Amino acid sequence: MKSKLFRMCVVASLLVSASLLAGGCAKKTVPSEEVKPTAEVPRVDTGDKMGAMESLESDPYTAANAKISEGRTHGPMLPVYFDFDKSSIRDDQKARLEGNGDFLSAHPRVMIAIEGNCDERGTNEYNMALGERRALTAKKYLMNLGVAESRLQTVSYGEEKPLLYGHDELSWAQNRRDDFVIR
């Protein structure tokens, strides 16, 4: 008795499902009129292929439209990397810092934050102090290149914002850096 009732319920549910599927997909009627193409809008060719004009008064380098180039540094500036437990600028990093100074000199309204970073080795307190020393060293270098101090802000993240999370020399070397972020 139960199996007969069960079969009847299954058959009834299948019939209801099939009727809902068949009836639920009604087709829309398409008008048989011929659709006429709209008139083509003539294109204006200025001949210079330059695109829209941009005001010469605006500075394209603002925090809103800055692009990340390497690390957390906004392009076209580059980050500066440090040796383990050091805050002095390495000889191979001076050209990067001088390039950042050239960019800042060419764009006098750009303000930046110099973010000092460390690898994970050492205590949090030590790494915060080391990150601050690194940021201050880069700030002093840029000031010596002629960048106004009022345009430079420093902040230390210590080991709190690593780029790479590995526990090897490559990861640590990438995390020992100053980032230059447009504010």
Report the pLDDT value the prediction gives residue 46, as an integer from 0 to 100.
Answer: 53
User: Was domain 71-182 assigned CATH 3.40.190.170?
Assistant: no
Report the pLDDT value the prediction gives residue 128, as an integer from 0 to 100.
Answer: 98
- 120: pLDDT confidence band, cut at 50, 70 and 90? very high
* Residue labelled with tokens 């590995």: 166
pTM value is 0.65
Model pLDDT for residues 11-67, shown as the tens digit of each residue:
666 665 655 555 555 555 555 555 455 555 555 555 555 555 555 555 566 666 666
Tokens of 122: 């050492």
Beta bridge partners of 112: 152, 182
Higher pLDDT, 120 or 43: 120
Cis peptide before 60 (omega within 30 of 0): no
Centre a 10 Å sphere on the Cβ of residue 175 and count the other Cβ atoms it contains.
24
Model pLDDT for residues 123-138, shown as the tens digit of each residue:
999 999 999 999 999 9
Report the pLDDT value the prediction gives residue 100, as an integer from 0 to 100.
Answer: 97
